Structure 1
Amino acid sequence: MNEDVLHQKSPQELVGLLLEAALIHLEEGRLSIEAKQLQKANEALYKSTQVFRKLQEGIQPNAGIIADQLAELYRYLEDLTLQANVKKSIASIQLAETIVKEISSSWQNALHSNPPSQSLGRTVQQSYDRHVMTMNDET
């Protein structure tokens, strides 16, 4: 997926894509451990920890209790995956996969029942336009 396509996605759709990426990296890590390809497993699991970190960073501070709990869950998944990588623990990876699948499924259900009305690019543009209009009104 190229950068232009990503800019067309809403923040909600981007979260869905990140969850999918985390699942792909977790599965690749698990399969690599099973195949005794430890370097490949390390790289895949490192990528999944990076995805969980990005998901945490995307949550706005003081956005409410649900956002705080989601941030804690992403932090837990990051720690779990990090420990799985250090110990090469298939059981820990499977636990992370189960949790991410549940989050992803719930996220997709919410996304389909309440489709985003606009992409992030349009939101940013509208915010910029409002700011410029406010500044022009003041001068």
Structure 2
Amino acid sequence: MTGIFTESAIHQKSPQEITALLYEACLTNLEEAIEDIANKDLVFANKKLQRANDILFRLGAGLNYEAGIIADQLDMLYNYMADKIVQANLTKDVTIIKEVIQTLEEITTAWNKAMKNKSANLAAGLRQKALAYEKSVLMEDN
């Protein structure tokens, strides 16, 4: 992942943005593993599936369990997908990889939607604060 982004660029990302990047990197590795299997490059497929599993492990390690049941559910999903990737790696079964991709795409879509909604809500809140400040300044001037 550091090949795509400089270290300073990664440090400027929020934890939510880093999670989104990890989802995308995992998907990329899974999709490339399918291509490698089709091309009979099984060593490369193995490495990409291992990378995808490493990413899932990091995602699980970064969960905030104080967030409640959603963290537990994500942990179970990450473990399920990791187990499926191991199974797919042993058998080089593309069908299993596609199942994991489908699940991860759904999580990624929901994550990105939640990030977008949070940004929109934050922007609306900042606008309200700015308007309230301007109003109070105008009242003080009168």
Q: Deviations over 1:85-130 (max 9, x none)?
A: 111010000000101111111111111111297xxxxxxxxxxxxx
Larger radius of gyration: 2
Q: Secondary structure at the match of 2:67?
A: coil
Equivalents in 1 of 2:86, 2:7: separation in Å? 28
Question: Which residue of the other structure, out of 27, 43, 48, is the alignment partner of 1:44?
Answer: 48
- Hey, what does 2:134 align to over in structure 1? none
Equivalents in 2 of 1:100, 1:45: separation in Å? 14
Q: CA deviation at 1:82?
A: 1.1
Equivalents in 1 of 2:116, 2:100: separation in Å? 24
Residue identity opposite 2:65 in structure 1:
P
Q: CA deviation at 1:65?
A: 0.7
User: After TM superposition, where is structure 1 displaced by more than 6 Å over at least 4 residues in a row?
Assistant: none
Structure 1: gaps of 5 or more residues: 118-139
Report sequence identity in percent: 38
Equivalents in 2 of 1:82, 1:9: separation in Å? 30
Question: Is residue 85 of structure 2 the alignment partner of residue 95 of structure 1?
Answer: no
Which shifted more, 63-72 or 108-117?
A: 108-117
- Hey, what does 1:15 align to over in structure 2? 19
Higher relative contact order (CA 8 A, sep 6+): 1
Q: Secondary structure at the match of 1:9?
A: coil
Residue identity opposite 1:95 in structure 2:
E
Equivalents in 2 of 1:61, 1:104: separation in Å? 19
Question: Which residue of the other structure, out of 2, 8, 13, is the alignment partner of 1:4?
Answer: 8
Q: CA deviation at 1:61?
A: 3.2
- Hey, what does 2:80 align to over in structure 1? 76
TM-score by length of 2: 0.79
Q: CA deviation at 1:3?
A: 1.0
Structure 2: gaps of 5 or more residues: 123-142
Question: Is residue 97 of structure 2 the alignment partner of residue 110 of structure 1?
Answer: no
TM-score by length of 1: 0.81
- Hey, what does 1:61 align to over in structure 2? 65
